[in-house]
Every structure is written in structure tokens, then in C-alpha cells.
Amino acid sequence: MKRFLAIFVLFLMTFSSGAAFAGATCDNFMYYFKNPQSTRLVPNLKCLLDNNYLQVQAAIKPAVHFFAAAIRNSNKEELLLHQLDQLKAHYSGDQQAIIDSIIQETKHFRSPPADSDLNFDLLWSEFFATGSAEPVRKIASYLKLDSTESKTAITCLASAEWSLASNAAQLPRVLKILKDLYPSSTGIMKRRLKRIIDDPKGAADLFYNASTTAPNFKAFTAIVW
């Protein structure tokens, strides 16, 4: 959970605050889906590269997936890929590799399964890019888990529930997706969804606070069951 929290919070800090860039004009990508402007994608990628936010390894894959999803969801994929190819000529090394990764992922785009902390990050970046309900539904499907002794599975479950609650507290679109999913859910998944829907911020705080305890595995276990 701590690793997931670090990656997810880093992604939000990197892409959701234009103020994070001194003198820069990078857009708030957490809300990109509300007003998608494909003409801003390449300039904003340049902004991120020039401000060295993509030097942090944990941010690279979510960033690549965000841009690939946003480009695929636009009606200007061919033009944007051409612009990325031109942009690539102005960089070298790791930065050039990031641009090339976006180009390749756009061409061979695949939405990941909800089966790990990293994939939760990718699914959220996909949601921020498109506003599609499908990535949120995938993450919510992990709430069906009802019996396991695997520490990895339990921490993934805590990550899933925390990220759903945290985003539902901030984004009405996420809360609506969960409310629409609730009537058809059953058993323990329905109970977990209800906890989020009834009090998104409270549920998010519950898991965040548990992530700061030691050993946090026991704290998560007490909450998720």
C-alpha cells in the first residue's frame, strides 16, 4: 500500500497541479477528461519533460499510459503521432525513450487488467484521459475478493478501495460510476461499495491512516473484512 500510495500520489502531484511547475503552463491532467483538448497533449508532454517530472521512475508508466489513452481517444491520432515523432528529435536518452514509448503504446494500446497496484495506476491514468467508466469498473471488480491469506492480494484490495474512495471524494464522475454499479453488485463487494458511496472521504481517510500504521498489513486486514 505504501508503494501504491507513493506512485498514485506522485501521479496526481505531477499531473494535477500546474502550480507545481515554476513558470510553466502545464495543464491539470486529473481533470483532462472533462474538457479534452488534444492540441494541448504534445505541448504538455514537452512541459513535463522540460521540468524533469518524468525523471522519477514511478511516474513514467502511468504518464505513458495517460498520453496513449488520450491520443487514442482523440480524433487526431495520426497528427499527434506525427507531432510526437517530431518532438522526439529534440530529446535524447531517457526522455526520447519516453516519447517513443508513448508512440508505441498508442499504436498498440491495451487496457490492463485490475490485478496489481501498478495496473491500478494505469487504469486511473486511463480514466483521467478518457472519462470512461470501464477502468473504474475494472478496479471496482477487485472488491469481490472475499477470502485470501495472500498479503499481496489484501494490500491490493486496500489499494483498490482507497483509490476508488479517494477519487469518488474528488470527482463526481467516479462517484456516479460506483453508484451505477452498486445495484448489480452482491455480497462483500456491495458492502464495500456502500462504504465508499456513503462517505467517500471517510473511506479514503480510513485506508490512508491504516497505511501509516505498522504493521499495516494487520490494519488493512481489519478494515477490508
Range with the largest mean pLDDT of 54-58, 169-173, 210-214: 169-173
Report the C-alpha dihedral over residues 78, 83, 86, 89, rounded to 10 degrees: -110
User: Which percentage of the chain shows pLDDT scores above 90?
Assistant: 60
Q: How far apart are CA 170 and CA 57, in angstroms?
A: 26
Asked if the model's pLDDT at residue 58 lies above 90, the reply is no
Q: How many residues does the chain have?
A: 225
Provide the pLDDT confidence category of residue 18 given band limits of 50, 70 and 90: very low
pTM of the full structure? 0.86
Q: 32 and 73 in contact (C-beta within 8 Å)?
A: no
pLDDT of residue 149 exceeding 70, the answer is no
Cβ neighbours, 10 Å, residue 193: 21
Write the pLDDT tens digit of every residue in 112-142.
999 988 899 999 999 999 999 999 999 999 9
Q: How confident is the model at residue 6 (pLDDT cuts 50, 70, 90)?
A: very low
| Cell 464495500 -> residue | 192
- Across 12-26, 27-41, 74-88, the highest mean pLDDT is recorded for 74-88
Boundaries of every domain in the chain: 2-107, 133-224
Contact 169, 201 (CB under 8 A): yes
How many Cβ atoms are within 10 Å of 200's Cβ, its own excluded? Answer: 21
